[in-house]
Amino acid sequence: MWETRSVQLSVRLPRDIAAQAEEVQRSDPDFLSRVVLYGLTRRSIYRHLRESYEHAEADSLPELSLEHGGPVL
Q: Where are the domains of the chain?
A: 30-60
pLDDT single digits (tens) 14-34: 999 999 999 999 999 999 999
pLDDT single digits (tens) 29-66: 999 999 999 999 999 999 999 988 887 777 776 665 56
HEC states along the chain? Answer: CCCCCCCCCCCCCCHHHHHHHHHHHHHCHHHHHHHHHHHHHHHHHHHHHHHHHHHHHHHCCCEEECCCCEEEC
Residue 71 has pLDDT above 60, yes or no: no
Band of pLDDT at residue 69, cut at 50, 70 and 90: low
**Chain Cα centroid distance, residue 48:** 8
